[in-house]
């Protein structure tokens, strides 16, 4: 008998979606064009994976997750900013994202750059001004986590090495650096922020960190795989972009079948990391399984 596929926590995604609309800056506060560009990119769909992960982790330690929604939304702001800039002609030059034209295609490269900048700044404004249901020391720790993950110590360095490695043969160590920084750091920060805000102990935070580190690796490997075998209508972006840009990916270095095995190992390791938590982690296990099974 074939086992049912893991389900995505759509009820958490809807919580995030509603909160994003609620927290989004009012239209009359700044020029229409920048409002349109930010709105277009932020509300073009997507699974809201990072904020959903943030809420699922927080829920392990505190069932009242509504109070953590400002931080969850801030994480989505940062992720969306990174997508806008990734898609720019100077980087990946992609024209489709989440099934819609990319920001620079719709609004021009100049406005797209500024829309990304605006969302990045708004993320920290949202945490600082609205995440008031947690102790101030925890909020400062969360700001530190997000800044670390999004900046030169995390996402930016991953992107730089990704660009520098294009059309070159790289070793597995470089590939892991790219994936762990460009993608993994923000996923890990999302999980850690949820645990921090909800008051997790240091040992439990370490377990969450290991879980999220392995989950982030699995997420990026499956992204690499989907760029080879996925369908544009399903995943919302052009298939074969990595090959066109000669990017370093798990399938290009290890082959497709070995990449799938590595994704499965990462998911299994993520689930093992949760074993020491004396709490209900079924939702996190289900999310990890979903990452491995998604659309292939």
177-220: per-residue pLDDT in tens? 999 999 999 999 999 999 999 999 999 999 999 999 999 999 99
Distance CA 160, CA 163 (A): 5
3-state secondary structure of 63: coil
Domains of the chain with CATH codes: 10-293 (1.10.600.10)
Per-residue pLDDT at 231: 58
The 10s digit of each residue's pLDDT in 211-249 is 999 999 999 999 999 988 865 555 555 665 666 667 788
Per-residue pLDDT at 201: 96
Per-residue pLDDT at 37: 97
The answer to whether 249 and 242 are in contact (CB under 8 A) is yes
| % of the chain residues with pLDDT over 90 | 78
Tokens of 66: 């509504």
Distance CA 219, CA 274 (A): 17
Give ∠ CA 90-74-33 in degrees, rounded to 5. 55
Low-confidence ranges of the chain (pLDDT < 70): 1-4, 230-245, 295-296
Helices (H), the chain: 10-23, 32-42, 49-61, 69-86, 103-107, 109-130, 136-150, 155-165, 172-179, 185-197, 202-229, 232-235, 241-244, 250-254, 256-273, 282-293
Q: Which residues pair with 101 in a beta bridge?
A: 96
With a threshold of 0.75, does the pTM exceed it? Answer: yes
């Amino acid at each position: 008998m074939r086992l049912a596929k893991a389900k995505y926590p759509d009820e958490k995604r809807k919580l995030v979606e509603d909160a994003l609309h609620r927290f989004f800056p009012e239209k009359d506060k700044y020029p229409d064009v920048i409002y349109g560009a930010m709105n277009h990119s932020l509300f073009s769909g997507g699974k809201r994976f990072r904020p959903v992960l943030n809420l699922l982790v927080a829920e392990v330690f505190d069932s009242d997750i509504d109070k953590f929604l400002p931080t969850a939304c801030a994480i989505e702001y940062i992720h969306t900013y990174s997508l806008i800039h990734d898609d720019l002609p100077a980087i990946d030059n992609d024209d489709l994202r989440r099934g819609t034209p990319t920001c620079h295609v719709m609004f021009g490269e100049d406005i797209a750059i500024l829309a990304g900048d605006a969302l990045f700044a708004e993320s920290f404004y949202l945490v600082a001004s609205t995440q008031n249901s947690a102790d101030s020391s925890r909020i400062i720790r969360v700001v530190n986590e997000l800044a670390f993950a999004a900046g030169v110590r995390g996402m930016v360095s991953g992107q730089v090495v990704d660009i520098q490695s294009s059309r070159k043969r790289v070793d597995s160590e470089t590939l892991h650096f790219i994936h762990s920084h460009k993608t993994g750091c923000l996923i890990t920060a999302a999980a850690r922020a949820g645990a921090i805000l909800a008051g997790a102990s240091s040992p439990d935070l370490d377990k969450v960190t290991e879980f999220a580190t392995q989950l982030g690796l699995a997420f990026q490997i499956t992204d690499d795989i989907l760029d080879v075998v996925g369908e544009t209508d399903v995943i919302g972006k052009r298939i074969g972009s990595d090959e066109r840009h000669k990017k370093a990916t798990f399938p290009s270095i290890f082959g497709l079948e070995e990449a799938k095995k590595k994704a499965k190992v990462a998911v299994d390791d993520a689930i093992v990391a949760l074993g020491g938590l004396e709490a209900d982690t079924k939702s996190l296990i289900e999310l990890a399984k979903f990452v491995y099974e998604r659309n292939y």
